Amino acid sequence: MPVHRPGSARRRLVASLAAAGLAVLSLALPASARSADVPTRGSAYMGMGVLAHDGQSGTPSSGDATQTEGVDVSGHQGNVAWSTLWNSGVKWAYVKATEGTYYTNPYFAQQYNGSYNIGMIRGSYHFATPDTTSGATQANYFVDHGGGWSGDGKTLPGALDIEWNPYGAACYGKTQSGMVTWIRDFLNQYKARTGRDAVIYTATSWWTQCTGNYGGFASYNPLWIARYASDPGTLPAGWAYYTMWQYTSSGPTVGDHDKFNGAYDRLQALALG
């Protein structure tokens, strides 16, 4: 027959209450603090951090100079209805090709070739993860998996998507000078492989925080600014104008819509180099 110990019941009650308290505390934590909400590597896309840190749903003002509508897509969009976009006036597209050295977009062929076949000028982009491998290593991976360039008049230079880290610290654990070095490493290797200067996609607030608002790339690398508002706002140091502007993540057919800062013939000139 078991011996009754009055203290054991109290200990069980205390343990039960403590477990319940931990469960309630876990539910009270913000989503960002729960490890289960950290995205899966490879799932990042252009502008992923803009809404969280710097974003609204943008509507460009009607007073803008002549601009040419574009979109950017990733694996999140799956098979894209390119004819619908073309008929709505979209004339160019960027497609996510790679991320780090561990991910390639499974829908890349449909998106990259589909936009080309419907008549668009298109290019590809790389989502940078400066905390995983060097800039040159990622540039090589990008070029080897869809990020190349050809002078066919329908292919835009590759774009480096450098923005908030969706998997951890905003600046990927790098100092401002370390980040500038990483970006330069990527850009130099991309040009060595393709003969073209890559486009830099970023947001002014991230660029200021993580590079110290470095202005040394503006002479050669076109700027693709991200800002979901009625205008692109203050640009990063060195750039007197933007080449492209991602102005919304809630556009028609696919969410991310962009403006090329010029008429269609200037877009063609960028493609030709």
Instruction: Let me know if 144 is a catalytic residue.
Output: no
Nearest to 42 by CA among 100, 110, 125, 94: 100
Nearest to 190 by CA among 132, 141, 123: 141
- Tell me which of 64, 99, 131, 161 is the catalytic residue: 161
Taken in order 229, 233, 238, 243, the sign of the CA dihedral is positive
- Phi/psi zone of residue 146: left (φ > 0), alpha (ψ -120 to 50 degrees), beta? left
Contacts of 2 (CB under 8 A, 6+ apart): none
- Tell me which of 54, 72, 99, 256 is the catalytic residue: 72
Instruction: Let me know if 231 is a catalytic residue.
Output: no
The residues pairing with 248 across neighbouring beta strands, listed in sequence order, are 257
- Tell me which of 54, 64, 131, 163 is the catalytic residue: 163
Instruction: Let me know if 161 is a catalytic residue.
Output: yes
HEC secondary structure over 16-76:
HHHHHHHHHHHHHCCHHHCHHHCCCCCCCCCCHHHHHHHCCCCCCCCCCCCCEEEEEECHH
Q: Which residues are catalytic?
A: 72, 161, 163
